[in-house]
Amino acid sequence: MKTSIPGPDVIDTRVVFRAYAGLAGLAALLLLLPPSSLATTLALDPAARLTLLRLAGAAVLAAACTAVGFASIEEAHSRHRALLWFAIGHLAVTVTLFAAIMAHGGRDGRDIGWPTLLAVTVLLFYFWSTGDGHRAGESLGFTKLFSASRPSTARLRSAYEERIREAAGQEERHRLARELHDSIKQQLFAMQTAAATAQARFDGDP
């Protein structure tokens, strides 16, 4: 018997958002409470370094909170599209940060901000293209940004599973109703039998 190994086409975007929220929360703590080694990598005076790091920490914390909100979306299609816009937002910040660094003298070999952000952005786009039942390349296309495309496999599967749950719940209600009906019927029969027995004994007494 062959054992199927889960591939990237079964990635749940809720896991992606939750993992992002956890890692981003840790990164926010490091930025809001920066160690001295991190602060010295910025070519600014100490007060400006601390302010910049805290602003970056607040932005990362806000992104983590946003990821928590996206993870709570139940409908897979909406959550999948949210991940796309989440990745696009990261791409915009990455490009802006890189442009700002190049405009102020370029890289000095100690920059870790924009390479890290670029790696996160690439991972987000990868998980978007393969998450919630989408295979690599299936999600590509600018029309998916704004228009409601044909239902995806994941969306159809989600609707099918929802119908199964509804049918199972309805069947359970019917079963309980039948058991209740049978129980009441048995009790009524027992009461009628007891009444008939009592009546027969009463009629038989002289």
In tens, the pLDDT along 1-17 reads: 444 444 444 578 888 88
Same domain, 204 and 121: no
Tell me how many domains the chain contains.
2
pLDDT band at 157 (very low <50, low <70, confident <90, very high): confident
CA dihedral 75, 76, 77, 83 (to 10 degrees): 110
Same domain membership, residue 107 and residue 167: no
Kindly state whether residues 129 and 50 are assigned to the same domain. yes
Please, which residues bridge with residue 131 across strands?
A: 11
Would residue 93 be called left, alpha or beta, if left means φ above 0 and alpha means ψ between -120 and 50 degrees?
Answer: alpha
Same domain assignment for residues 60 and 81: yes
Q: 128 with 195, same domain?
A: no
pLDDT at 201 over 50: yes
User: 99 and 12 share a domain?
Assistant: yes
Q: Is the domain of 144 the same as that of 58?
A: yes
Residues 85 and 141 in one domain: yes
- Answer whether residue 1 is part of any domain: no
Q: What is the pLDDT of residue 49?
A: 63
Token pair of 120 as six digits: 């996160």
Contacts of 31 (CB under 8 A, 6+ apart): 38, 53, 54, 56, 57, 60
Kindly state whether residues 44 and 137 are assigned to the same domain.
Answer: yes
Residue 136 belongs to some domain of the structure: yes
Between 20-34, 38-52, 127-141, the lowest mean confidence (pLDDT) is in 38-52
Confidence tier at 142 by pLDDT (50, 70, 90): very low
Per the structure, the complete domain to which residue 184 belongs is given by 150-206
